[in-house]
Structure 1
Amino acid sequence: MSKPFESLATSKQQRIINAALKEFTDKGFEQASTNQIVKDAGIGKGMLFYYFNSKKDLYLYLIKYCLDITEHKYFSLIDANERDLFERLKKIALVKSEFLKKYPDAMNFISTIVLNGFEEMDDELQARMEAMKGIGYEKMYGNLDESLFREDIDAKKAYHLIRWTFAGYEEELKNRLRDQDMRSIDFEPYFAQFFDYLDVMRTCFYK
């Protein structure tokens, strides 16, 4: 973060960030207009480029910002001490629901990066994104109680089946929501459906 931007009041920083997140999400990097960003943020264009050297620098900053809040406002709230897989997945879903409500613009933006990528990310940022995926996987599937599974089921293979099932479910949701604005989506039915699937899988795999 540039020192001039860092010195701004938090409310003004957030106004600029939210305006930029919305514009880049709606139009993509190439088509996004810095004129629209400064208009929505209520600042002069010269000030935007005083805080950030270029449109690309602003975009890269937003990626880092979204990774930071994902780590500190989402991953950090997941209870990894819950060793029942299906209970943990339910709790993760509830944390994600609150995160979506609180940071819809950030979730919209980071979803476009996950779906479409951004070729101009440097190796360090690419590595950080990959590391975050690893953290997310560990939060979901690390340190689980395998004794909860039926004795006639190989727990390791069950984990793979469950993971593949929900990876497919997540991919289906991404395709269904690809062109929608996440700020206008009611996610409650999706979470209710997810909980139903968890209950079915619990019945199939647990004692």
Structure 2
Amino acid sequence: MNDKFYALPEEKQSQILNAAYKVFATNQYKKAPTSEIAAEAGISKSLLFHYFHNKLELYIFLWNYAADLTKKYICKYKVYKTDDFFEMMRRGLMAKGAMMRKYTFLSLFSVNSYFETEPDIQSIIQPDVQDAAKTTLEMLLSILNLDFIRKDIEFARIYKEILYASEGMLKSWYRAGNYDVTVFEREYLEMINHWEMVYGKGKENDRKQL
């Protein structure tokens, strides 16, 4: 599937993907103009549909491509090869930063896709996200050393709070509009250090409980 797209030089593939992620990330599906994607990518609209039969196919391709790329970078940066939750987050930040340097709007697309109201997209993406969230939490609980985490708050609650805060930070970075990944990495690393102080062992609250 999409053999014609994959036959393109890698640089051209990246131009098309970056254009599509940007347009879909900054517009609702119905209002995202494929003509703008083509223009951003430097190709004609007819050529865009030579590679992808229709708008929906392109959108779902982007979703699956983002998921596959995320898995690849998680492996590359050995995100899950530690039992320390906060070290895992730092490795995850390196993976996310690398992806954002390659595809600027991929992360925003991935976050916004879950809230897309188009039924054909909802039916695919929302179950994917829900299954992934459940599977990820179960996997974390199986590999993490929870001795690094404070005991008086359920880990599932900590994970959810950090996840929501992370999405908010990501959207704020995009709204700023300068797309400097180094700035995002620095600010997010500061938050990881803060969360380690709040939720991790060794801080003043935990010392009082021990």
TM superposition score normalised by structure 1 = 0.77
Who is 1:3 aligned against? 3
Bigger shift: residues 29-38 or 75-84: 75-84
Q: Alignment length, in residue pairs? A: 203
Q: Which runs of 5+ in 2 are unaligned?
A: none
Q: Contact 1:21 / 1:62 at 8 angstroms: preserved in 2?
A: yes
Who is 1:107 aligned against? 107
- Separation in 1, partners of 2:73, 2:118: 23
Q: 1:191 aligns with which of 189, 192, 202?
A: 189
Deviation at 1:205, TM superposition (A): 4.2
Deviation at 1:127, TM superposition (A): 3.9
- Separation in 1, partners of 2:38, 2:206: 53
Who is 2:166 aligned against? 170
Deviation at 1:69, TM superposition (A): 1.0
SS at match of 1:53: coil
Who is 1:133 aligned against? 133
SS at match of 1:12: helix
- Separation in 1, partners of 2:139, 2:95: 12
The 5-angstrom pairing of residues 21-32 of structure 1 reads 21-32=21-32
Who is 1:98 aligned against? 98
TM superposition score normalised by structure 2 = 0.76
Q: Contact 1:16 / 1:37 at 8 angstroms: preserved in 2?
A: yes
SS at match of 2:114: helix
Q: Which runs of 5+ in 1 are unaligned?
A: none
The 5-angstrom pairing of residues 45-194 of structure 1 reads 45-74=45-74, 77-116=77-116, 118-121=118-121, 123=123, 126-138=126-138, 140-148=140-148, 153=151, 157-170=153-166, 172-173=168-169, 176=172, 179=175, 181=177, 183=179, 186-187=183-184, 188-194=186-192
Identity of aligned residues (%): 23
